[in-house]
């Protein structure tokens, strides 16, 4: 798909200006491409200094979004107004998490905003688990999906949130999914991991109430990232559609994250914002 076409699909049509972050430091995991990258761009446009993270330098090249993580950080820094630093590390490994957080803090300062975007349903040896249903997924693949999603989110929070609590300020935005709210097949364990993240979000929010740290989650529906468009059989009518019966644009998810990261949501904590165009219409 031509880059101009991809860009038009990804950008929000609203022209909404992002909230002002006034030099706040944000770390967005899994932001070398796709949805994470759009979140970095949105926070950066609002004046945040942002750490661009992925598991390795090559992540942005997988679907043609940039040459490398370092090159992408340079491209985004040139736009400003905030600064961008590139950091790599495996969020399922405690030592990697400690090292990447230390690098962010040494380079940009204490972390004010943590967005746990890293995850996905491609954590198995061959990418997506196969088989990928409730009874036949291998235990190895099930562990890999849980590690990449739930335990990765938990390790990041364990490393970053205590500093926020000490400073009595901070915002955490975790990533759920439509799959974490409804029964699904395939991708059963992925849905379980996302449901676990949502419950962890509520529990951590409860624990952080006395410390002034807000913890929320976003649950997107299907979204037109470069990977989604390259690997899924998509319905053209769900892309070029002015109604809500369509796929989300990455910028629409990023705008929701920016809201939860900003002072505009200063009294919002422990909530899950479903950004799915009304695909899931039930409480909770």
Query: What is the predicted pLDDT for the residue at 9?
Result: 43
pLDDT tens, position by position, 190-226: 999 999 999 999 999 999 999 999 999 999 988 777 6
Question: What CA–CA distances, in Å, run from 163 to 48, 156, 190, 244, 269?
Answer: 18, 12, 30, 40, 18
d(CA 53, CA 29): 5
Range of the domain at 172: 3-11+22-275
Instruction: Report if residue 196 sits inside a domain.
Output: yes
For residue 264, give the DSSP letter: G
Instruction: Report if residue 283 sits inside a domain.
Output: no
Number of domains, the chain: 1
Q: Is 173 helix (H, G, I), strand (E, B) or coil?
A: strand
Instruction: Report if residue 169 sits inside a domain.
Output: yes
Q: How many CB atoms lie within 10 A of CB 21?
A: 25
pTM of the model: 0.91
How large a percentage of the chain has pLDDT more than 70? 90
Sheet (strand 272-275) strand order: 84-88, 49-54, 25-29, 113-116, 170-175, 213-220, 272-275
Query: What is the predicted pLDDT for the residue at 229?
Result: 65
Whether 190 sits among the annotated catalytic residues: the reply is yes
Q: Which of 133-142, 244-253, 275-284 has the highest mean pLDDT?
A: 133-142
Q: Which residue has the higher pLDDT, 162 or 236?
A: 162
Task: Output the DSSP codes for 14-49.
Answer: S-PPPPP-TT-EEEEET-SSHHHHHHHHHHHHTT-E
Residues 6 or more apart whose Cβ sits within 8 Å of residue 132:
121, 141, 186, 187, 188, 189
Mean per-residue pLDDT, 114-133: 88
Asked if residue 265 lies in contact with residue 214, where contact means CB atoms within 8 angstroms, the answer is yes
Instruction: Report if residue 284 sits inside a domain.
Output: no
Instruction: Report if residue 52 sits inside a domain.
Output: yes
- Whether the per-residue pLDDT at 11 is higher than 60: the answer is no
pLDDT tens, position by position, 74-99: 999 999 899 999 999 999 999 999 99
CATH classification at residue 256: 3.40.50.720
Instruction: Report if residue 16 sits inside a domain.
Output: no
Band the pLDDT of 12: cuts 50, 70, 90: very low
Q: Which residue has the higher pLDDT, 136 or 224?
A: 136
- Pick the catalytic residue: 63, 190, 200, 247? 190
Backbone angles phi, psi at 218, to 5 degrees: -120, 135
Number of H helices, E strands in the chain: 9, 7
Instruction: Report if residue 214 sits inside a domain.
Output: yes
Residues 6 or more apart whose Cβ sits within 8 Å of residue 251:
10, 11, 12, 38, 42
d(CA 119, CA 196): 13
């Amino acid at each position: 798909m031509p880059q101009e076409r991809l860009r038009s699909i990804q950008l929000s049509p609203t022209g909404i200006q992002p909230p002002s972050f006034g030099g706040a430091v944000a770390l967005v995991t899994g932001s070398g491409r796709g949805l994470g990258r759009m979140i970095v761009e949105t926070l950066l446009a609002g004046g945040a200094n942002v750490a661009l993270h992925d598991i390795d330098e090559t992540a942005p090249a997988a679907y043609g979004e940039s040459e490398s993580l370092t090159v992408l950080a340079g491209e985004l820094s040139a736009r400003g107004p905030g600064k961008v630093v590139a950091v790599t590390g495996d969020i399922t490994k405690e030592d990697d998490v400690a090292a990447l957080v230390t690098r962010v803090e040494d380079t940009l300062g204490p972390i004010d905003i943590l967005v746990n975007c890293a995850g996905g349903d491609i954590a198995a040896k061959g990418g997506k688990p196969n088989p990928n249903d409730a009874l036949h997924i291998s235990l190895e693949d099930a562990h890999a999906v849980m590690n990449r999603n739930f335990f990765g989110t938990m390790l990041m929070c364990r490393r970053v949130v205590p500093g926020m609590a000490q400073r009595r300020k901070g915002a955490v935005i975790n990533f759920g999914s439509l799959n974490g709210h409804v029964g699904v097949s395939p991708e059963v364990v992925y849905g379980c991991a996302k449901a676990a993240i949502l419950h962890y979000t509520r529990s951590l929010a409860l624990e952080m109430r006395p410390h002034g740290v807000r913890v929320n989650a976003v649950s997107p529906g299907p979204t037109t990232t470069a990977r989604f468009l390259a690997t899924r059989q998509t319905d053209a009518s769900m892309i070029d559609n002015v109604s809500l019966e369509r796929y989300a644009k990455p910028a629409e998810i990023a705008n929701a994250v920016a809201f939860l990261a900003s002072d505009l949501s200063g009294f919002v904590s422990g909530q899950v914002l479903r950004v799915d165009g009304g695909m899931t219409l039930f409480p909770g």
